[in-house]
Amino acid sequence: MLNLKDPSLLRQQAYIDGQWCDANQGQTVAVTNPATGESLGSVPHMGAQETRRAIEAANAAWPAWRKKTARERALILRKWNDLMLENADDLAAIMTAEQGKPLAEAKGEISYAASFFEWFGEQAKRIEGDVLEAPARDRRIIVTKEPIGVCAAITPWNFPSAMITRKVAPALAAGCTIVLKPAELTPYSALALAVLAERAGVPKGVFSVVIGDAKAIGAEMCANPTVRKLSFTGSTAIGRLLMEQCAPTVKKLSLELGGNASFIVFDDADLDAAVEGAIASKYRNAGQTCVCANRIYVQDGVYDEFARRFTEKVKELKVGNGMEPGVNQGPLIEDKALVKVEHHIADALSKGARLLLGGERHALGHSFFQPTVLADVTPSMLISEEETFGPVAPLFRFKTEEEVIALANDTEFGLASYFYARDINRVWRVAEQIETGMVGVNTGLISNEIAPFGGVKQSGLGREGSKYGMDDYLVIKYICLGGM
Ligand code: ADP
């Protein structure tokens, strides 16, 4: 079992209105370690009723929370940040146990996750209104920003901590309260955050965690008129459904959905840097991130050399239980993920792709998969259309800049893209023409709390993190002062 310095961080109950509680009918669901198949414990399996209770508590807590000064809210968020960093080892161990990512990556995520509390706490003090030039002398136009109100958040399992703080931090900083439904596969990271929220002095009802039946909880969050805003990170299919369910109550939405990131290597690129960037972008979290390189386009002149150097480096990745030192790639989250990866590989091979490395389930069993490299991949293959969400790097060949821009943009998604080039004119040209919300130039890692994270096209709505991230939790009020 898990060996934690502070075992009280591992909670097996949900957290509603400042109370640790079970499901109304007492139902529970088990949580499994994907690296070992062992059960880590269980959590309540809740539904609409418990969700309604959490929403009512959030509504009751809202007036007092929004009345606090920005500094008072910021101090609580700072405390929450500090507690996360003080408990980083335990939080990382909990994450690796339930999610599978290597411990070093989990630790990295904890500090990334905490950084949103620090950043948005500071930003709380910089929510600014405006006074505009009026069309008549006897008037004044005043613009203020107010917290939108009770928010709901639904988060995925691939970043069990950071996807939560990226929503909760701006919500609380803005003066909103929030009810969270974390992914059912990774509830313990969310509950550990609730333990620390309590210790940081977050008042009861301001932050609640409801766990259980995703469909029922989601439906209640969408239909309940008290909830003014929903923030979701997950698949495009569920994002569309939630958007539909939010239509009757006209909720403000933030959606961070699927990606199909292109990673382009031009013939003037620093090849070693491109190899390093491609590995970081592709194999992080075993390929299970929405900004992972999903299509690697390499220009004709450097294709063979890139493929050789890339495959050599991928061979060095160590697969294993994320708790063990030196492991670079943990298991996939569940068996279903393996099936999709196998399907994408089989489809590519049947249409003429060449296997350079891997291609099969790993000898370690469970949901481990070999780091895989495919060459001669073409747009007619499934892997070019859909997110693989696994450790498979497909290498496409291209000849010209125009051709690769058209290929990169030929997708319904528009989250992240990457390219490696040295020619400064090309860098500008390509960066401007790529249709994604984020572009990494000569780097494979782009996420941090200061930068705006989000997509265009069917990859979503809104931006998270950065000075823009607070806007999603604020509404503008215009006050017209007349008859002066
Ligand atoms: P993934 O493929 O990453 O699991 P999902 O979109 O299925 O993507 O899951 C992301 C989050 O959405 C999880 O918290 C999951 O429980 C939740 N979810 C799944 N189905 C629904 C639904 N019908 N309504 C609300 N939330 C849902």
Reported as a single tens digit per residue, the pLDDT across 32-53 is 999 999 999 999 999 999 999 9
Is the predicted pLDDT of residue 451 greater than 90, yes or no?
A: yes
Contact status, residue 217 vs residue 51, Cβ threshold 8 Å: yes
pLDDT 10s digits, 396-435 = 999 999 999 999 999 999 999 999 999 999 999 999 999 9
Residue 347's φ and ψ, nearest 5 degrees, are -65, -45
Q: Please indicate whether residue 234, judged by its CB atom, sits closer than 6 Å to ligand 1.
A: yes
Residue 375 Cα to ligand 1 midpoint, Å, equals 32
Mutate to test the pocket of ligand 1, among 31, 45, 51, 154 (most ligand atoms within 8 A of CB): 154
Q: How confident is the model at residue 292 (pLDDT cuts 50, 70, 90)?
A: very high
Residue nearest to atom 9 of ligand 1 (CA): 234
Whole-number average pLDDT of the chain: 97
342 is catalytic: no
Structure confidence at residue 8 (pLDDT) = 98
Q: How confident is the model at residue 189 (pLDDT cuts 50, 70, 90)?
A: very high
Q: Please indicate whether residue 460, judged by its CB atom, sits closer than 6 Å to ligand 1.
A: no
Structure confidence at residue 4 (pLDDT) = 97
Q: Please indicate whether residue 214, judged by its CB atom, sits closer than 6 Å to ligand 1.
A: yes
Residue 9 Cα to ligand 1 midpoint, Å, equals 25
Can you tell me the mean pLDDT for 76-98?
98
pLDDT 10s digits, 362-407 = 999 999 999 999 999 999 999 999 999 999 999 999 999 999 999 9
Cα distance between residue 261 and residue 464, in whole Å: 18
Residue nearest to atom 11 of ligand 1 (CA): 156
Q: How confident is the model at residue 229 (pLDDT cuts 50, 70, 90)?
A: very high
Is the predicted pLDDT of residue 446 greater than 90, yes or no?
A: yes
Give me the residues paired with residue 429 across strands: none
Weakest mean pLDDT among 1-5, 156-160, 304-308: 1-5
Is the predicted pLDDT of residue 261 greater than 80, yes or no?
A: yes
> One of 222, 246, 290, 292 is an active-site residue; which one?
290
Contact status, residue 229 vs residue 220, Cβ threshold 8 Å: no
Structure confidence at residue 338 (pLDDT) = 96
Residue 238 Cα to ligand 1 midpoint, Å, equals 6
Q: Please indicate whether residue 334, judged by its CB atom, sits closer than 6 Å to ligand 1.
A: no
Q: ipTM score of the complex?
A: 0.98
Q: How confident is the model at residue 57 (pLDDT cuts 50, 70, 90)?
A: very high
Can you tell me the mean pLDDT for 339-360?
98
Cα distance between residue 100 and residue 370, in whole Å: 15
CA distances from 35 to 282, 321, 329 (A): 20, 6, 11
Cα distance between residue 207 and residue 58, in whole Å: 7
Is the predicted pLDDT of residue 306 greater than 80, yes or no?
A: yes
Structure confidence at residue 46 (pLDDT) = 98
Q: How confident is the model at residue 468 (pLDDT cuts 50, 70, 90)?
A: very high
Dihedral angle over CA of 472, 169, 282, 444, nearest 10: 80
> One of 105, 256, 387, 449 is an active-site residue; which one?
256
Mutate to test the pocket of ligand 1, among 238, 240, 336 (most ligand atoms within 8 A of CB): 238
256 is catalytic: yes
Q: Please indicate whether residue 184, judged by its CB atom, sits closer than 6 Å to ligand 1.
A: yes
User: How much of the chain exceeds pLDDT 90, in percent?
Assistant: 100
Query: Roughly what angle, to the nearest 10 degrees, separates helices 214-223 and 236-246?
Result: 40
- Between strands 39-44 and 293-299, the pairing is unpaired
